[in-house]
């Protein structure tokens, strides 16, 4: 957040899975005189009260990024909205996979990456001379960390399906008892995100505590723990 007569320049940052109870899950300006600008940034998978990746509060100034990967449309040369394709976001590995749209997509005027190629978008570059950065099989099903965690109200649950198939997302309590089936349907390939509002199948708010979210896709399954905190 840039607050009050503060002008922030961001270059080659990766801002993901941040959560705020106010506006702008990734970046935000607060009060007149504050601005955020920069290039080569990834701003993705963030959550906020107004469901935005970038915003302003109290008359904050504009956020103007270029050559950046943002999951909310932002006018600016070189900006894209494609999924960044991290190596393994579930394990907090935010290096880029082979084939990521962020590779060689940074500002051409930026210094070259250490491998001598055009700047990549994000905090970690993909080394094209060695293939370091990692790769993930296109057939791999991936569940991302739930966000926010701990949560006071809703949590966002996201996964990526490698192809079209049957997807189930289920919430369990700490005893293993089913609380709610969030999704049970055929889904297209790509990113799928759903919000759990902290209620059970009867529409009642569940108690504070530890819960588990399980994503099942065509025989593959991954689970994440989450903590729900009461009002």
pLDDT tens, position by position, 160-175: 888 889 999 999 988 7
Alpha carbon 142 to its chain centroid, in Å, reads 13
User: Given 99, 121, 136, which residue is the final one in a domain?
Assistant: 136
Q: Is 115 left (phi over 0), alpha (psi -120 to 50) or beta?
A: alpha
Say yes or no: 117 and 158 in one domain: no
The verdict on 114 and 13 lying in the same domain is yes
Same domain flag for 94 and 17: yes
Domains contained in the chain, number: 2
| Mean pLDDT score, 121-128 | 90
Q: Is the pLDDT of residue 130 over 90?
A: no
Residues 164 and 193 in one domain: yes
How far is Cα 200 from Cα 171, in angstroms, rounded to an integer? 9
Q: Which of 88, 117, 136 is the last residue of a domain?
A: 136
Taking phi over 0 as left and psi of -120 to 50 as alpha, with beta for the rest, 31 belongs to: left
Do 182 and 75 fall into the same domain? no
pLDDT at residue number 231 = 59
Residues 5 and 118 in one domain: yes
Helix count and strand count (H, E) for the chain = 0, 18
**Does residue 117 sit in the same domain as residue 4?**
yes
- Same domain, residue pair 110 and 158: no
Task: Report the distance separating Cα 26 and Cα 141, nearest Å.
Answer: 25
Average pLDDT across the chain, whole number: 87
Q: What percent of the chain has pLDDT over 70?
A: 96
* Segment 57-85 mean pLDDT: 93
Distance, in Å, from the CA atom of 105 to the CA atom of 7, rounded to the nearest integer, reads 25
Clarify whether residues 118 and 158 are in a common domain.
no
Residue 132: the pLDDT is 61
Do 218 and 185 contact (CB within 8 A), yes or no? no
Q: Is 89 helix (H, G, I), strand (E, B) or coil?
A: helix
Q: Measuring CA to CA, which residue among 25, 20, 16, 38 is closest to residue 145?
A: 16
Query: Residue 129 is part of which domain span?
Result: 1-136
CA 4/CA 23 separation, integer angstroms:
16
What is the pTM for the complete model shown? 0.62
Kindly report the CATH number assigned to the domain that includes residue 207: 2.60.40.4070
């Amino acid at each position: 957040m840039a607050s009050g007569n503060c002008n922030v320049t961001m270059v080659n940052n990766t801002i993901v899975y941040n959560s705020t109870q106010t506006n702008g899950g990734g970046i935000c300006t607060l009060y007149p005189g504050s601005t955020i600008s920069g290039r080569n940034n990834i701003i993705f998978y963030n959550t906020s009260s107004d469901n935005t990746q970038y915003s302003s509060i109290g008359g904050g100034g504009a956020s103007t990024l270029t050559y950046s990967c943002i999951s909310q449309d932002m006018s600016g040369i070189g900006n894209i909205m494609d999924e960044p394709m991290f190596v393994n976001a579930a394990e907090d590995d935010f290096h880029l996979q082979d084939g990521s749209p962020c590779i060689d997509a940074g500002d051409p005027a930026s210094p070259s990456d250490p491998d001598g190629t055009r700047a990549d978008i994000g905090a970690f570059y993909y080394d094209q001379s060695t293939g370091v950065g990692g790769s993930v099989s296109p057939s791999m099903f991936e569940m991302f960390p739930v966000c926010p965690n701990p949560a006071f109200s809703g949590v966002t649950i996201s996964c990526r399906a490698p192809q079209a198939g049957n997807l189930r997302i289920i919430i369990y309590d700490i005893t293993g008892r089913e609380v709610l089936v969030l999704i049970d349907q055929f889904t297209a390939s790509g990113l799928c995100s759903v919000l759990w509002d902290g209620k059970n199948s009867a529409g009642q708010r569940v108690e504070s505590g530890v819960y588990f979210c399980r994503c099942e896709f065509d025989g593959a399954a991954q689970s994440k723990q989450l903590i729900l905190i009461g009002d």
